[in-house]
Structure 1
Amino acid sequence: MSDVVSIDPRSGEVVEVVAVETGPAEVDRLAQAAAAAAQPLDALGRAARGALLRALADALEDRRADIVGVADRETALGTTRLNGELTRTTYQFRLFADVLDEGSYVEAAIDHAGDSPMGPRPDLRRMLVPMGPVAVFGASNFPLAFSVPGGDTASALAAGCPVVVKAHGAHPATSQLVFDVMSAAATAVGAPEGTLAIVHGVDAGARLVQHPAIRAVGFTGSLTGGRAIVELIEARPDPVPFYGELSSLNPVVVTPAAAAERAAEIGRGLGASVTLGAGQFCTKPGLSFVPTGPAGDSLVAEMAGSFAGVDPHVLLSERIALAYAEGIEQLTSTPGLTTVARGDAASGSGYVAAPLLLSAAAGSLPRAAHEELFGPVAVVARYTDETELLTALAELPASLTMTVHTGDEDDELPAAVTRALGDRSGRILFNGYPTGVAVTWAQHHGGPWPSTNTAHTSVGTSAIRRFLRPVAWQSAPQSLLPPELREADPGIPRRIDGVLVLPAGGR
């Protein structure tokens, strides 16, 4: 088995050996331990799992300086960004603890025995229960919020599912550190052994996906990687749910009225959004539609300031850097695409890349501009009228987001754009930028294929729904029912005989 090494992307050099790739026997042991932990973790109940989540948040916060330091050395994302990401990460754990306290996520429903228009009915009670052990694949671009301590882990644990995380090879030292912190905290509050585990290595991840103990898989990464995992799942004798967040173009439309009113503001905002985190966000606005004419020209010129003559950006890994280099070579050689602005040429050691802004006519937009490319690159499509714009929008793939910038003089165009893209987007933004994804009760981070393969979200409280399954109890004795379905008020909202009943206290 090979060593798992941690590389500094600023230099491209190996800094330390973190671990040895996890072998088949160890993957099997960890998966079996997760299976053994499933029932005890569920039996802890909502209050104890909430305490577990808050303990994990506190433990990560206590090691903030160490975690941010290792993550910055390993990702080059900067301490400001990583401190913010760790804050988001601990907030996610605490928010899911609040979800457990509130309790409506179980969708408890009780229909008492009695007469119905179809005749007598039995006593039926239904709620959502944990699915079982979950495999989570850490993402390269969020070493905290979408990795070992990320939203998939937080929502699965909240649901009552043990988690085995496949650490991402781009930040193994960060992954191992936060796992060690979380594992110790889980043990300290009495979580069952096997509640949390970690594996390293591609082969270990593949074996984990196909292990019979694993009941669902959460993944954030490339479309290619997602398809590979789907193939592994389909080869199982018992395929399990796969929740993949995969690829997204995130189109932005600027109306003529918006460009006329605030060209400079929008141009700066778009440029900052594209280059944020070296363009390594799944919500990066990769394609923007801007009207032709002086106002649109001013907007693009302002946007170009985020690209022209700036220092090369450091990318997360060699694989991402190579893919970026190949991608921009293809784009710059594609007929119909013109370079608007480019950063200083990348040189020296490390995984560096020059930011790039390109332009094309919306009426003859090359297919290459429809593809997501990880890194600080974007295309501006210039449109002459509404017909040309809507025709171009009709050809776009589905995305996590769509954005419309509107002006005071707009009439029907924003509605027409929303109709054109709304059924192919998971989040519809107005006068903003998609790279900010708030963690809230109302958030949805998903969309039709190829952005995701599911109707669920990976951000926000509804993410817990991915790791739950419905069960109905018929004519069950009270002693055999979950507390949420017994006659006594469990302190959560329930639907009883068709009527929504709030708990005592009216929450």
Structure 2
Amino acid sequence: MITTTDPRTGRQSDTDLAPTSADAVADLARAAEAAASVLASRPRQWRADMLERIAAALEDARAELVATADAETGLGEARLGGELTRSVVQFRMFADAVREGSYLEAIIDHAATTDLGPAPDVRRMLVPLGPVAVFGSSNFPFAFSVAGGDTASALAAGCPVILKAHSAHPLTSARSFDAIAAATAAAGAPDGTVGIVYGQQAGSALVADPRITAVGFTGSLSGGMALQRIIDERAQPIPLYGELSSLNPLFITPGAAIARADTIAADLFTSVTGSAGQLCTKPGVAFVPVGDAGDALVDALADRVDEAGAQVLLNRRIHDSFREIRDRVLAAPGAVERARGVEDAAEGFAVAPTLVETTASSLGADLVEEAFGPLVVVVRYEGAGDLRRAASVVPKSLTATLHHEADEIDLARRLTDDLAPWAGRLVYNGYPTGVRVAWAQQHGGPWPATNSQHTSVGMTAIRRFLRPLAWQNAAQELLPEELRDGPVPIPRRVDGVLQLAAVESTP
């Protein structure tokens, strides 16, 4: 029997859900394989309509979904309501992207005589991979779980999706899946378009199933590595798109510390403690200059941490891991506990926000371990050289943030050059928490942040679940509509020239 736990109290309850058997996993994979060819043959307009039906179904179920997720995560109705809106928006944006069609990367090179001699007609575009396994994450029960961006982008690509429900919010996963399944059925999607499994063994069996063509995963580094080991044992390797571990360093220049110490302290506190610090983009280490301005900034940050109440973490595993990592960080040479909020509550999975201070010369690997929760390490540095040396100790991350003033552009440029190979997104005079869903977004980074060069947020996330296919000397009737001669409503590159989408004229 699958159980659910209220993280505010630690009390566990039974559900009507059961672990999925190996035979049931195989049945779902077979159904997804059968659905894949049907989905690939459906027109883009139909697929876009299906995505919008899913968005509407999630919106219709909003009250039940938010209440269920709050009972299982303790994240609060305001945060969860906003997150569900993000999920709804993602499905609608992917619907727009599917209609617009540039994601197909359609290219036509007509037969021609070239400098290398006669050349055949070649046409190329991206096509769906096939059935995709998506693992829900604990900290985003909507936007990175069953109703999340991996599901939306895979369905947008034309791939069936089998979801692995997260053990920390099984009822939220089930209710989200019910809404999605009802919407796909109402759209006339084939059986097997979406499926869901419960339990760790079912998740392992799903990844091992030869019909699965890709895996989307947001979670711990150890969890991602475990899935990779299963993939390595498959006869046919497949991509694992994993978002795994990130410290997201934040750098404050001397000028920024002088100009806005208190503002940065207040906003940094909010960024570190938002959602109890359980965000993949939480800044886990902040570099602050020595001197009076830096002292004022750290003092203001410490005051806020000291006054902070205990914060509820998502589950016992995250709670226990946070406390272990916090103890290891505090035991590291040169580490000083500068501030700690209200101590852990007697019941449930609450922890105290904590501020640790050290110096750039003391910074080592034992001080830059990701702590999933409200912990930040402040590193005091003396100059640009000191800062750049200390920054090299920090593992590569999803983001790197730089606070600077207008008269420090030369310093900011040098730091940008240093940080560009170290992160997937550079943030200036802001905070990395809060990821915009947009075409330009890059939510990924060098290892160990992720294990691929793709983003898991934004419209280009669809690229993960597509592969290129070329047609050579094919009859027009054998080509996809997007590659046939004549005007088409998508942008294409034809004989080397980029052409905009053809627009029908109105009489």
Q: Mark yes or no: TM-score above 0.5.
A: yes
Deviations 1:345-402 (A, max 9, x none): 1132111111111000012213222211100001000001111101111222110000
Contact conserved, 1:169 with 1:201, CA < 8 A, in 2? yes
**Which residue pairs with 2:501 in the alignment?**
503
Deviations 1:68-96 (A, max 9, x none): 00000110000010010001000000000
Contact conserved, 2:425 with 2:443, CA < 8 A, in 1? yes
Distance 2:369 2:418 in 1: 19
Q: Tell me, yes or no, if structure 1 residue 488 matches structure 2 residue 486.
A: yes
TM-fit CA distance, 1:42: 1.4
SS in 2 for 1:412: helix
TM-fit CA distance, 1:254: 0.2
**Which residue pairs with 1:478 in the alignment?**
476
Q: Which amino acid aligns with 2:198?
A: H
Distance 1:364 1:247 in 2: 23
Distance 1:32 1:294 in 2: 65
Q: Which amino acid aligns with 1:316?
A: L
**Which residue pairs with 1:183 in the alignment?**
181
TM-score by length of 1: 0.98
2:257 to 249, 256, 259: 259
TM-score by length of 2: 0.98
TM-fit CA distance, 1:506: 9.4
Contact conserved, 2:364 with 2:393, CA < 8 A, in 1? no
Distance 1:141 1:488 in 2: 48
SS in 2 for 1:250: coil
TM-fit CA distance, 1:310: 2.0
Distance 1:126 1:196 in 2: 28
**Which residue pairs with 2:69 in the alignment?**
71
Q: How big is the alpha-carbon RMSD for the aligned residues of Structure 1 and Structure 2?
A: 1.1
**Which residue pairs with 2:376 in the alignment?**
378
Superposed counterparts of 1:46-85, under 5 Å = 46-85=44-83
SS in 2 for 1:306: helix
Q: Which amino acid aligns with 1:239?
A: P
Q: After the TM superposition, list the runs of 4 or more consecutive aligned residues in structure 1 that deviate by more than 6 angstroms.
A: none
Q: Which amino acid aligns with 1:186?
A: T
Distance 1:303 1:70 in 2: 34
**Which residue pairs with 1:100 in the alignment?**
98
Deviations 1:44-84 (A, max 9, x none): 12101100100000000011111000000110000010010
Contact conserved, 2:365 with 2:394, CA < 8 A, in 1? no
| Structure 1: runs of 5+ lacking an equivalent | none
SS in 1 for 2:427: strand
SS in 1 for 2:332: coil
Deviations 1:479-503 (A, max 9, x none): 1111111113220000111111112
Deviations 1:392-432 (A, max 9, x none): 11222110000000113314211121111111110001000
Deviations 1:434-472 (A, max 9, x none): 001000010000011000000000000110000000000
Q: Which amino acid aligns with 1:435?
A: T
1:43 to 41, 44, 53: 41
2:214 to 213, 216, 234: 216
Deviation larger for 271-280 or 309-318:
309-318
Q: Tell me, yes or no, if structure 1 residue 192 matches structure 2 residue 190.
A: yes
**Which residue pairs with 2:453 in the alignment?**
455
**Which residue pairs with 1:438 in the alignment?**
436
SS in 2 for 1:457: coil
Aligned residues: 505
Deviations 1:296-331 (A, max 9, x none): 111112222332132211000111011011111111
1:341 to 339, 342, 348: 339
Q: Which amino acid aligns with 1:487?
A: D
Contact conserved, 1:272 with 1:306, CA < 8 A, in 2? no
SS in 2 for 1:307: helix
**Which residue pairs with 2:111 in the alignment?**
113
SS in 1 for 2:345: coil
**Which residue pairs with 1:469 in the alignment?**
467
Contact conserved, 2:107 with 2:125, CA < 8 A, in 1? yes
Distance 1:388 1:162 in 2: 51
Superposed counterparts of 1:313-328, under 5 Å = 313-328=311-326
| Structure 2: runs of 5+ lacking an equivalent | none
**Which residue pairs with 1:393 in the alignment?**
391
Distance 1:179 1:215 in 2: 21
Distance 2:445 2:359 in 1: 27
**Which residue pairs with 1:300 in the alignment?**
298
Q: Which amino acid aligns with 1:63?
A: A
Q: Which amino acid aligns with 2:405?
A: G
TM-fit CA distance, 1:18: 4.0
Contact conserved, 2:247 with 2:284, CA < 8 A, in 1? yes
Distance 1:305 1:285 in 2: 18
SS in 1 for 2:166: coil
Contact conserved, 1:108 with 1:128, CA < 8 A, in 2? yes
**Which residue pairs with 1:289 in the alignment?**
287
SS in 2 for 1:145: coil
Q: Which amino acid aligns with 1:24?
A: A
Q: Which amino acid aligns with 2:306?
A: A
Q: Tell me, yes or no, if structure 1 residue 149 matches structure 2 residue 147.
A: yes
Deviations 1:200-242 (A, max 9, x none): 0000000000101100000000000000111100100001011
Q: Which amino acid aligns with 1:433?
A: Y
